[in-house]
Amino acid sequence: MINFKSIKSICCIGAGYVGGPTMAVIADKCPNIIVHVVDINQERIDSWNNLDLSKLPVFEPGLADVISRVRNKNLFFSTKVAEFISKSELVFISVNTPTKKYGIGAGKASDISSLEECTRQVAKNASGHTIVVEKSTIPVKTAAAVKAILETSQNDNDLNKTFSVLSNPEFLAEGTAIKDLENPDRILIGGDDDDAINLLKDIYLNWVDKNKIITTNLWSSELSKLASNAFLAQRISSINSFSALCEETGANIDELKRAVGSDKRIGEYFLNAGPGFGGSCFQKDILNLTYLSEHFGLPEVAEYWEQVININNWQQYRIYKTVLNKLFGTLSNKKISIFGFAFKADTNDTRESPAIKICKYLLDESASIVIHDPRVNESNIDIDLNEYIKLKYSKWEVSSDYELAAKDSDGIIILTEWDIYKKIDWFKIEGLMRKPAWVFDTRKIIDPYVIKQTSLNFWQIGYGIN
Ligand code: NAD
Ligand code: UDX
């Protein structure tokens, strides 16, 4: 049973996009708590410990400042998973839960094998009472498996192991992670052990208003995370479906967004048309939702949510088709410049980035592409495109300078809304490109009035006079 009045030591398993920033903020806000972030990936841990803060494995505005305040004071990164599990009162599990690639549920269900592996590690190495917190996004009912594994070790030996299991999903968005963590809309804690819930709540109360902390049963908490991501992704597919209708009818997506979003019941946020949602969460979590719905005998629910993904895929396909049509139906011997490879601005993450699919379509058409992104490493792009390239014998390269990338290009496609692209001197770019040249703005970051003063042809998403 719980024999401590407050949490003094935390271990977080998983030093990724969630574990690293989340624990950094907890350490910053709770100077009396010692936080150890552990991971099996030595290279990642070395990067978190790099003295050069520009080399942290995750790029997030504000993250380096937080790390510089707390690292090696009350925040530590290491690979000593077993050691810090045993020394901690509370263990967050924040490992990746990607879409399963094999067996039953392949391509849809979440692969929770890493989470199970961590649970077994906790079962083996914990001592005394340990509060185990699911931070990863997981299928509803996962806590039942976590409890079952932990319970087998309770009578192990003389260590008096006992456990409480809580669900505490993370809602941060990449690119705004520090802001989201420091000022969250809500904190969700699911569980059936009031003492454990209150101890976790006390951690957040160091900086979060009590009215923002929602407590529920385990299953509501687990399912709410999937539901939140599904609702958000659905808004993007909804606005993207209207972007296509705008282009056909002469309506303008910005005007439509304003008209629709001013209704308080709908709200103005998350209504930006674009190349479709990317990122490690939306697609994975909706696929998982559809799998679960089928599993629970609700195929209509599965079909409903599947459509959100179908529209997302179609949006990327139709952008590629638009580029092809505008460039006279052939991309052979043409150079296309890709501005932005990250799935959104202010992150170096490329997981499920719309750029990957769109680049593959273009390469399939025999285009030569030059990719520029201010934060994404070439090695990442290599991983995202390489296997495909080997199969298709196509050409792509990376440029660290977007003006060089634009030189002799037939078309520029803006795929990520990085600030630097908002400040481009289009008169200069005009002089660099091969004519007739096109600019495709899938993020609506260019003022059409400015670009139309050049000789460049211009297409913008949801802009009805394309
Ligand atoms: P990530 O891939 O960036 O990091 C996961 C880390 O876990 C990796 O460094 C990996 O080496 C480590 N790991 C895997 N198995 C391990 C093991 N057995 N022992 C120790 N370490 C292990 O993933 P992420 O983006 O941080 O996501 C983590 C979870 O949070 C996922 O379930 C995800 O769905 C969820 N989530 C992600 C975001 C986001 O924006 N990325 C937001 C909310 C929730
Ligand atoms: C998302 C959720 O927002 C977050 O709450 C959850 O914890 C993890 O998943 P993330 O994927 O990091 O966060 O970023 P988000 O800002 O949601 O963007 C996801 C994708 O949707 C990006 O590709 C983004 O460009 C796109 N998007 C977002 C749009 O196309 N239009 C919008 O209006 C908003």
The enclosing domain of 381 has a CATH number of 3.40.50.720
Residue 243: name the closest of 309, 235, 426 by CA: 235
Q: What is the largest CA-CA distance in the chain?
A: 79
Same domain, 173 and 57: yes
Q: Which of residues 216, 234, 254 is at a domain's end?
A: 216
Q: What is the pLDDT of residue 395?
A: 85
- Mean pLDDT value of segment 56-78: 97
- Mean pLDDT value of segment 215-243: 98
Q: What is the pLDDT of residue 1?
A: 79
Q: Which of residues 216, 243, 270 is at a domain's end?
A: 216
Question: Is the pLDDT reported for residue 390 higher than 90?
Answer: no
Cβ(16) – ligand 1 distance below 6 Å: yes
| Inter-residue contact 121 to 13 (CB < 8 Å) | yes
- Identify any residues that bridge with 92 across adjacent strands, giving them in sequence order: 12, 133
Cα–Cα dist 330/177, whole Å: 41
In a domain, 377, yes or no: yes
What phi, psi does 218 have (nearest 5°)? -60, -45
Cα–Cα dist 453/33, whole Å: 58
Q: What is the pLDDT of residue 284?
A: 97
Same domain, 211 and 317: no
Domain that holds residue 452: 283-460
- Burial of 40 (C-beta count, 10 Å sphere; 0-12/13-18/19+): middle
Residue 363: name the closest of 323, 403, 402 by CA: 323
In a domain, 222, yes or no: no
- pLDDT, tens digit, for every residue of 128-181? 999 999 999 999 999 999 999 999 887 666 567 999 999 999 999 999 999 999
Cβ(34) – ligand 1 distance below 6 Å: no
Hey, what are 353's tokens? 């980035």
Same domain, 210 and 301: no
In a domain, 372, yes or no: yes
Same domain, 14 and 157: yes
Give residue 220 CA to ligand 1 midpoint distance, Å: 22
Same domain, 212 and 119: yes
For residue 278, the ligand 2 atom closest to its alpha carbon is 23
Same domain, 197 and 288: no
Cβ(280) – ligand 1 distance below 6 Å: yes
Cα–Cα dist 341/356, whole Å: 8
Sign of CA dihedral 5, 8, 11, 15: positive
In a domain, 233, yes or no: no
Q: How many independent structural domains does the chain possess?
A: 2
**246 to each of 71, 239, 251, how far by Cα in Å?**
50, 10, 4
Ligand having the closest approach to the CA of 229: 2
Residue with tokens 């420091």: 182
Q: Give the residue, by CA position, lying nearest to ligand 1 atom 27.
A: 96
Cα–Cα dist 109/104, whole Å: 8
Helix (H) or strand (E) holding 136: none
| Inter-residue contact 343 to 384 (CB < 8 Å) | no
Q: What is the pLDDT of residue 117?
A: 97
In a domain, 221, yes or no: no
Going by pLDDT thresholds of 50, 70 and 90, the confidence category of residue 190 is very high
Same domain, 68 and 202: yes
Peptide bond before 436: cis, by omega within 30 degrees of 0? yes
What phi, psi does 422 have (nearest 5°)? -75, -15
Q: Give the residue, by CA position, lying nearest to ligand 1 atom 44.
A: 170
Question: Is the pLDDT reported for residue 386 higher than 80?
Answer: no
What phi, psi does 451 have (nearest 5°)? -70, -30
**106 to each of 100, 292, 306, 420, how far by Cα in Å?**
5, 13, 15, 39
In a domain, 275, yes or no: no
In a domain, 411, yes or no: yes
Same domain, 310 and 172: no
